[in-house]
Structures are given as C-alpha cells and as structure tokens.
Amino acid sequence: MKLIYSSVLFLLLSFTAAAQEVNFDEALAQVKLEAEKGNYDNALTMLQSLQLKFPENEDLKVYQGRIYSWKKDYPSAIKVLVPLTDRTKPHPDALLAIINTYFWSEQFETCSIYCDKYLLLDPNAADVLLIKIQCLEKLNRDKEALELADKLPVTDNSTQAITGVRALIGRKAKNALAFSYLNVSTSNPGQSPLHYGYAEYSHKFTKSALVGRANIGYVNADTQLLFEADYYQTFSKRNYLYVNAGASTGQTVFPVAKAGAEYFFAPGKRFDYSLGFKYLHFETDDVTLLTGQLGYRTGTYTIAYRPFYDTSNELFSHVVSLQKANEEKESLIRLELQYGNVPYLYLYNNFVTPLKAYRAGIQYQHRIGSSFLVRPVFLYEYDEYLPDAYRNRFSAQLIITKRF
C-alpha cells in the first residue's frame, strides 16, 4: 500500500513539474515574440510576471537586459546585467549582452574591458574580437586594432566588417599623394589632343586640411603651369568651408589667377546642400561662376543637382548626378549628365561663347589594399564649337592616390 501511495505521489509531482516546464516555455516564447515585434514594454511586463514564478532563473535576467538594450534604455540594461557580469564567475550570456549594450551606447572604453573579460572565457570568440577591434578603432587606438585583426583566422580577417574597420583606419591617414593624367580628344572635326596632369599633396589637421597642387597643361604646342592650394575647415555640426586659390604661368591654357569658396552645410536626414563661387582672372577678361549643390541620399545612393552660372557671359550650366557608394570598401560609381558649356574640371578659359554642350560621364573608384585609391573617369560631350556645328569630345582621366 505504501509503495502504491509513493508511486502515485511521484507521478503527480512529475506531471506538475512537466506542466510548469510547458507553461514556462510557452510564456517565454510569447515574451520573445513580443520582443521580435518591437513591443518591448509588453515583453518586459510579461517577463516580470515570469520572473516572479522563477526568481532564480538567470537566463530570464539576461533576456531582460537584452530587451532594455534593444529598447535603447541602456542604464536599465546595465543595472540588470552588472550583477551577473561583475561576480567571480560571470554569466557568459550576460557578458555578451552587456558588451553589446556598451557598444551600442558608444561607451567604447568600458565595452573593451568587458570584451577582455569574455575573451578570458573564450579567447577565439570571433564576434567579441570584432567588437573589441571596433572599440579600439573608435578610441583611436588604431595600431592595437590592426594588430588584433592580424591575429584573427584568415576566414574572420577577410570579413566585410574587418575590411570596413581597416578602411576606417586607412581614412585617418594624415597625408596623401595624388597623381592624375587627363586626355581630351575631339572628332568630326578633330584637333590635336589636349594633355593635362597634376601632382598633389594633402595633409589633414584636427579640424582642417590643406592641399597643394601643381597642374600642367599642353595645348596647341603650348605648355603652361597652374599652382593652386585648397583649404578645408570643419565647423561645429559638421558644416565645413572649402577655399581655393591659384596662379598660372600663362594666359590661355589656364587662367592667370583663380579663387573660389564653397560652404557645405551639415547634411540633414536625407538632404545636403552647399553654396559657392569661382572667380577666374584672364589677361583680357574676368569670369565669375556662381554654384552650389542640392543632394538627396537614400541608402547607398545619392542624386544631386549642381548649377553653374557665368555672371560675365550670362550662361547657365546644369549637372545632374547619380552616385552609388560603399563606405566600407571606399568604392563608388558615379553617372553624370550635363547641359551647358561650363567645361569639365579646371579647363575653363576666356574664349567662352553662348554655345550648347551635352555631356555624359562615368567615374569609378576602387581601393587597392588599405592605402591606394584608383579612380578612372570617362566623359563624352556633344559639343557645339560653332553655331549649329557640333563635334564629339572625349575626356579620359586617371587619378591615383596613396595615403600614408
């Protein structure tokens, strides 16, 4: 009789425990479903009820901390997770949760410390190593970040995320050298090709940058030089000013002197814009160009409109461009359409008449390694060189930049 009683009691306790386990799993599944929908307050309320029934379940506390971090209530997330992470034997999942919390809240120094704690438990945790590398980059400890990235296995070191970190560090280089060659040819009727090139050195300061450039042009058996400088100054809220000035050794290939400035306003959610001017002094004439830009960004694409107005000759030019950029790879492809007679780049002289020109162009940028950038440019122009007389104009340019 006693044996029968014990057996029945055991079965009842087993059924009760099983029911509780089913109820726990179902309740937790509902909490996760609400969190996945973004209903974080509902998920937290349901989770608190579950915690009252299972107060010793640490996984529930970890999940509560995760929900707070997804909700961007970082102080509450940290308050929940710290007791589980700052003890003698930290909870591994709590460490992962607090690492993400500190990273998302941009507390990179503390995040790095907790990464070290987790790496003591699992030295080869690729996700944590990546976050540690990103923290070091944000803290400008670039040498440490690169050394840690080099220690990753080949499969992890070649991921897009690591490539992106290397690109960010590469862009911090203070110095750069750039070289360019431009060939301009025409057909129907044709003329001797025009040749242009430049060598450029740039240096970045904390909130500014200075560029020195030496241009050379060979046109109609005449060679002239243009020396110019660019200056960039960044202000608060990411506004910045661009200033340019230069002087040449001749009067026809380049202007005798030039100056310009453009102010770029901090981009809004999707729009960015600028206002500026260019002044060109020739031996017999002066040209003032008013310009600016309005751009709209959506994802990796930017569509922009830039007008040029020649105040001296009362001429308008219009440029519309579409650009797709990959910030991590530092690559871009840009399509450009133009109507008007303001020519490409710095090739502007005082022999300007109200003739039409239609231009279509494409350019592409590709990064080689972490410090070389290559940018080929090709433009086709249907050029009215005399009233009602058109010819084909082809411009091909190659720009190579080395950062160090």
Mean pLDDT across the stretch 29-36? 90
Question: What single-letter amino acid sits at 222?
Answer: D
Q: What is the pLDDT of residues 70-108, one digit of tens each?
A: 999 999 999 999 999 999 999 999 999 999 999 999 999
Mean pLDDT across the stretch 46-61? 90
Contact between residue 295 and residue 302 where contact means Cβ atoms under 8 Å apart? yes
Q: Which tokens go with 326?
A: 């990959």
* Angle between helix 92-104 and helix 58-70 axes, rounded to 10 deg: 10
Mean pLDDT across the stretch 327-335? 90
Of the candidates 1, 70, 2, the residue with the CA atom closest to the CA atom of residue 31: 70
Q: What is the pLDDT of residues 140-168, one digit of tens each?
A: 899 899 899 888 876 665 567 787 787 78
Confidence bin at 24 (pLDDT 50/70/90): confident
pLDDT of residue 37: 92
Which letter does DSSP use for residue 236 in this model? G
Locate tokens 């974080």: which residue? Answer: 40
pLDDT of residue 91: 96
Radius of gyration of the chain (CA): 31
3-state secondary structure of 191: coil
Confidence bin at 9 (pLDDT 50/70/90): very low
pLDDT of residue 73: 96
Confidence bin at 342 (pLDDT 50/70/90): low
Whether pLDDT at 245 is above 90: yes
What's the pTM?
0.71
Confidence bin at 8 (pLDDT 50/70/90): very low
Contact between residue 226 and residue 212 where contact means Cβ atoms under 8 Å apart? no
Exposed/middle/buried for residue 191 (C-beta within 10 Å: 0-12, 13-18, 19+)? middle
Contact between residue 399 and residue 377 where contact means Cβ atoms under 8 Å apart? yes
